[in-house]
């Protein structure tokens, strides 16, 4: 068993992911995925290349996914590839609630158990508010829990909530 953290796009998210890793105790290996553009200085993220790298990091292990921001979209691409290996998914800070993104989420989550996925969204996240994400996820699958958090930013320091969900 492994847990992989898929951070947000900006390099500052590496600090967030490492802080979360230091605060959760899951009894198994936790991997922070380092986006290729953090290392190369490229201006964009290639989901296809990232998924290839992430699948190598996961290997044949069962995996939990903790994804923030753009990582939530990449998590759906991973789920499409290895649905049978994914145990639990935590999404936080979903940044976009577009029709295209909704289609990806719907396709990826077909047949994935609703009690094995949870979404945390800050009330006033500047990328997408709790209300926007709640409606988005209702259209994706109304049985998926979307938990409102009180913050007004795109920071998700909820390590206790993350640990509780994964170990439950």
Taking the C-alpha atoms of residue 87 and residue 1, their distance in angstroms, rounded to an integer, is 9
pLDDT of residue 62: 97
Q: What pLDDT is stored for residue 35 in this prediction?
A: 93
pLDDT band, very low/low/confident/very high, at 109 (cuts 50, 70, 90): very high
* 5: pLDDT strictly greater than 90: yes
pLDDT value, residue 132: 98
Q: Does residue 86 register a pLDDT over 90?
A: yes
Instruction: Quote the percentage of the chain above a pLDDT of 90.
Output: 88
**Fold (topology level) of 2-167:** Rossmann fold (3.40.50)
Return d(Cα 34, Cα 10) in angstroms, integer. Answer: 11
Contact yes or no for 105/140 (Cβ under 8 A): yes
User: Is 142's pLDDT higher than 90?
Assistant: yes
pLDDT tens, residue by residue, 15-64: 999 999 999 999 999 999 999 888 887 778 888 889 999 999 999 999 99
- Whether residue 144 contacts residue 117, with contact meaning beta carbons closer than 8 Å, is answered with yes
Question: Tokens 């923030």, residue?
Answer: 68
- For the entire predicted model, the pTM comes to 0.96
């Amino acid at each position: 068993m492994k847990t992989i953290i898929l951070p947000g796009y900006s390099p500052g998210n590496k600090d967030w992911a490492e802080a979360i890793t230091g605060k959760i105790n899951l009894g198994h290996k936790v991997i922070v995925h380092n986006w290729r553009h953090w290392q190369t200085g490229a201006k964009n993220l290639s989901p296809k290349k990232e998924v290839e790298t992430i699948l190598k990091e996961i290997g044949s292990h069962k995996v939990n996914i903790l994804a923030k921001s753009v990582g939530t979209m990449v998590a759906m691409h991973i789920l499409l590839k290895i649905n049978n290996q994914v145990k639990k998914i935590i999404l936080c800070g979903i940044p976009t609630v577009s029709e295209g993104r909704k289609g990806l989420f719907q396709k990826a989550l077909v047949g994935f158990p609703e009690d094995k996925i949870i979404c945390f969204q800050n009330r006033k996240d500047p990328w997408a508010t709790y209300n926007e994400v709640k409606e988005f996820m209702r259209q994706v699958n109304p049985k998926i829990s979307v938990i409102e958090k009180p913050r007004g930013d795109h920071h998700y320091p909820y390590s206790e909530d993350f640990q509780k969900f994964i170990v439950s």
